[in-house]
Structure 1
Amino acid sequence: MGKKLWYHSKYLLLLLFCTNSVAQVKPADFKYVDHILGYWRMPTKHSTFTEYWVKKDDNTWEGMTHRITGKDSVEMDKMQLVRSGNDLVFTVVAVADPKTGKPVPFKVTVIQANGFVAENPDCDYPQKIVYKWKKVDELEVHFKGEKEKTFSEIILEYKRK
């Protein structure tokens, strides 16, 4: 068998993965976050979950989730993306620091045309939140991480209304 070409090597894939994972978020890419704006729905067997995002100003995006059952609507959560200099921070009220009661900050580590990744390895759960646009009007939200040595991932699949 012949020698493997360097570009077929598993080491090249590892190098590319590591290079991409340390990529810096660029303020010029913040425009991609605007795709989140609007009203998103996820029907389930017994209710419908919604996520609604608005842009408050040039540095702040705010979101809200609701659960709708029949004619009743219950606010489930509030989210926020806030630009601070060259950083973008994601918070969700449901993920709060037990000591302060304030939302845990997740630093946005990747922003691309198809979504963004926010991470906080010190958070109890989740450590990673991913917003991914599968299509123009389809959004997947992943909450993933490890809690008590068990990996867990919650996936929400929304469609734009």
Structure 2
Amino acid sequence: MRRLAATFALLFGSPALALELPAWLAGHWQTRGGQTTTEEVWLAPADGLMTGMSRTSGGKKPFFEFARLEQRGGKLLYIAQPGGAAPTEFSLTASDAESFRAENPGHDFPQRIIYERRGNDGIDARIEGDIDGKPQVQHWQYFRVR
């Protein structure tokens, strides 16, 4: 599928960015690693907005983040508030029925946020960017909580 999209982009220019919110993200998701558990909960889209939160527990100290996906001015934004901090906006630069990528090249870390749907019951999420000129990636494999 990605090869087909890349070929299309070469022949006809970049495909239009899908402006629909990723309804497939709605639900309760969880991953475990060692002593830690990370959960994300996303509400279904309504009026151009999805709200979400994440919580990591069982590690050295608990962590939480508020997030939202919103349609604004003809574009989609991913807005993160780790630890309840001031919001940081990332513009969606790629979006289709199975994934999205949001970017903010001026942010310290991450500069990219990527979510990919894995069937109905899985999501791969990762954040990417540079810290002190060195590439960094953090990755989570979530499974739907029933």
Shorter-normalised TM range: 0.7 to 0.9
Residue of structure 2 equivalent to 1:124: 108
Unaligned runs of 5+ in 1: 1-11
Q: Are 1:34 and 2:23 an aligned pair?
A: yes
1:1-161 alignment runs, 5 A limit: 16=10, 19-20=13-14, 23-27=15-19, 30-31=20-21, 33-55=22-44, 57-69=46-58, 74=62, 76-94=64-82, 102-161=86-145
Q: Give me the TM-score of the superposition, normalised by structure 2.
A: 0.81
How far residue 55 of structure 1 moved from its aligned partner, in angstroms, is: 3.1
- The percent of aligned pairs where both chains have the same amino acid is 22
| Alignment RMSD | 2.7
| Aligned counterparts of 1:143 and 1:113: Cα–Cα separation in 2 | 20
Q: Secondary structure at the match of 1:93?
A: strand
Q: Which protein shows a greater Rg? A: 1
Moved over 6 A (4+): none
Q: Give me the TM-score of the superposition, normalised by structure 1.
A: 0.74
The number of residues matched between the two structures is 137
For residue 45 of structure 1, what is the amino acid of its counterpart? G
How far residue 24 of structure 1 moved from its aligned partner, in angstroms, is: 3.6
Unaligned runs of 5+ in 2: 1-5
